[in-house]
Chains A and B, each alone.
Chain A
């Protein structure tokens, strides 16, 4: 009896204390407005509300985030930044340099993010020594997807080197199948290009060329070989590829018109949505070569006034990296959890492989940021490289010319 009274009193005291405490508030700017993504954000909203917070949704769709960034610029310039913003990679550091990001180290330390997250991914979330962003998911970019039936009918195994891929493609072409489904949009050209650079040059070369932008690496023979391979791949793409969206290319693999597609694991969502089973109807493998290219979505926390907003920021950061959200969100989105201690039992085999490879790559130092998806470089540099890659892929430019243009474009973008 005495004990329960004490408990009652203390819980009363607690509730009084928390009533005096600010109620968490968060205004969240993001561009996850379609299908599985919208559902995934809904999960976070619910969880936020269950923990006593008030969520103000600020979805700005369009232009692959361009529209949201324009809205963000206006908000920051007017001194009224949102609480949290969907940002990723070097863009976080760019905003930090403008002096507008908040410090969420207290949450990160009490939750032990340092031990939960792979070191190279944690690096993106830190601004100098403080934590300023919370990671949501890991997309792997260097995937190659294949139609299982087509491969079997032509007696082809999943290729593990680019030479094997070329041999398989020749065989498929003779059999009248389009070897590579590809959409001629600059970012898709860039996606294929970075997997080729990783495959032919290895993780160390990738780091030097596309992360550190070392001029010698950019004009090296390995880079020339990468452009040669791009020219070869151009021959394996159908004539009608210009401007095609990536999901239409995925559909070509699905219905057997084409054999392979090189695309990040959001392509898996298309296969699954069409009721295809991984390992049976379609195959997933990492693109030829070693390494792991990641594309990590995250929420950056902006400087806000008021205890309620700061409390919201901390609660949001805690929930985003929390195991429940990581699991539910990533099952909806097709990516894998960023923390390594979440059980993957309910995930599909491709996601399990992705997670295993991530852990292995993190240990061997082959866990690398994707340049094509804005993880490795700032907008101006990444854009300059993409310009060259897409100009080369869509013309008859020689590889010698391409590497020279690449070095010039990178120097010009600084």
Chain B
């Protein structure tokens, strides 16, 4: 009996969380998939009607805007955060004084919630209150910076706020990566008289490939599920110019009583996540099998 218990203890301990995840994650994904194939409105219905909700979704100009915004936001947010984070990390890595304090300053935005970030940037970027009003107050009457209220540019203000929030975190990741590179190799290179930039480009950065991948995955999922920042910063506006898939889904499910439509948009969001995560898992698992 005791022996049986010993061999099965890990399974018993893991079983509750396994069952919970099975139901509350995968079960509800299946439920959403089912509902996305129905004509559910206010309450979920379960008669399958085919792909009608997906047809409506792809006909909707608002969904087009939301997906386009996701591409713009995702590409710029991930790209710029990584570049900025890497540059900051390299600069911090130069054995400077008060490194700890500076590191904390850069990492600090991460401690704020997206709602706070969004609200603060909303005030900074508001043409009548923030930056524009301030510069005009200095006497530059022709200065305009109205991206927040300009439907073509508003999505870039969301990008700005998100980068401000996350690049410090990326910096911390990269800094840890830089420090983990074998110092012997770097010293050897220095003895050979190789310039510092060359050491970074040819030795340090290539050996940090796994860190790049982790940073990418973390930022990518932040981008796809971005919701609170948009709600706080622009409320999806002007018009619906800064809608993202997550805000679209929320509007359909909770404001408009169109659950079927919301479910289909949630499924598309999940497919986007899969498109990013599955290759990652594949490469991870393959590496382990080798």
Chain A residues engaging chain B, CB cutoff 8 angstroms:
63, 66, 69-70, 73, 76-77, 91, 94-95, 98, 184-186, 189, 239-243, 378-380, 382-383, 387, 390-391, 393-395, 405, 408-409, 412-413
Known: A98-B42, A243-B237. A394 touches B151 (CB 8 A): yes
A66 surroundings in chain B (CB, below 8 A): 254-255
Q: Do A383 and B251 have beta carbons less than 8 Å apart?
A: yes
In the complex, the answer to whether A184 meets B237 with C-beta atoms within 8 Å is yes
Question: Which residues on the B side are within 8 Å of A391 (C-beta)?
Answer: 61-62, 239-241
A387–B146 alpha-carbon span in the complex (Å): 22
Q: Is the CB of A412 within 8 A of B56?
A: yes
One digit per residue, 1 when the CB lies within 8 angstroms of any chain A CB and 0 when it does not, for chain B 115-150 equals 000000010001110000000000000000010110
Nearest residue, chain A, Cβ from B55? A412
Interface residues of B in 228-245 (CB under 8 A from A): 234-235, 237-241
Q: Which residues of B contact A63 (CB under 8 A)?
A: 254-255
With A380-B258, A394-B151, A412-B60 as known contacts, state yes or no: A239 contacts B127, CB within 8 Å: yes
Closest 5 CB pairs of A and B: A240-B128, A394-B239, A242-B149, A379-B256, A394-B238
Give the chain A neighbours of B251 by CB distance below 8 A.
383
Chain B, residues 59-83, CB within 8 Å of chain A (1/0): the string is 1111000000000000000000000
Which positions 30-68 of chain B face chain A at CB distance < 8 Å? Answer: 41-43, 56, 59-62
Q: Which chain B residues lie closer than 8 Å to A95 at the CB level?
A: 42
Residue of A nearest to B255 (CB): A66
Across-interface contacts of B240 in A (CB, < 8 A): 186, 387, 390-391
Say if the beta carbon of B166 comes within 8 Å of chain A.
Answer: no
Is the Cβ of A94 less than 8 Å from the Cβ of B257? yes
Q: How far is the CB of B122 from chain A (nearest CB, A)?
A: 8
Asked if B265 is at the interface (CB within 8 A of a chain A CB), the reply is no
A-B contacts besides A240-B149, A394-B239, 19 pairs, CB < 8 Å: A63-B255, A66-B254, A66-B255, A94-B41, A95-B42, A185-B235, A186-B237, A186-B239, A240-B128, A242-B148, A242-B149, A242-B237, A378-B257, A379-B256, A380-B257, A387-B239, A390-B238, A394-B237, A408-B59
Q: List the count of A-B residue pairs having beta carbons below 8 Å apart.
A: 94
- CB pair B235–A243 under 8 Å, yes or no, is yes
Q: Of A94, A378, A383, A393, which contacts B239 at CB under 8 A? A: A393
- Give 20 CB contacts A-B under 8 Å: A63-B255, A73-B42, A240-B127, A240-B149, A242-B234, A242-B237, A243-B238, A379-B257, A380-B256, A380-B257, A380-B258, A387-B62, A390-B238, A390-B240, A391-B240, A394-B237, A394-B239, A408-B59, A412-B56, A413-B56
Provide the residues of chain B in CB contact with A242, threshold 8 Å. 148-149, 234, 237-238
With a cutoff of 8 Å between Cβ atoms, the chain B residues found around residue A77 in the complex are 43
CB-based nearest B residue for A392:
B239
Q: In the bound complex, how far is the Cα of B150 from the Cα of A184, in angstroms?
A: 12
Q: In the complex the two chains form, is B41's CB within 8 Å of A380's CB?
A: yes
Residues of A within 8 A of B148 (CB): 242
Q: Does B167 contact A (CB under 8 A)?
A: no
The residues of A that contact B60 with a CB separation of less than 8 Å are 409, 412
Give the one of A241, A243, A393 with max B CB within 10 A: A243
A76: nearest residue on chain B (CB-CB)? B43
Q: Which residues of B have CB within 8 Å of A412?
A: 56, 59-60
Q: Which residues of A contact B235 (CB under 8 A)?
A: 185, 243
Q: Is B261 positioned at the interface, with any CB of A under 8 Å from its CB?
A: yes
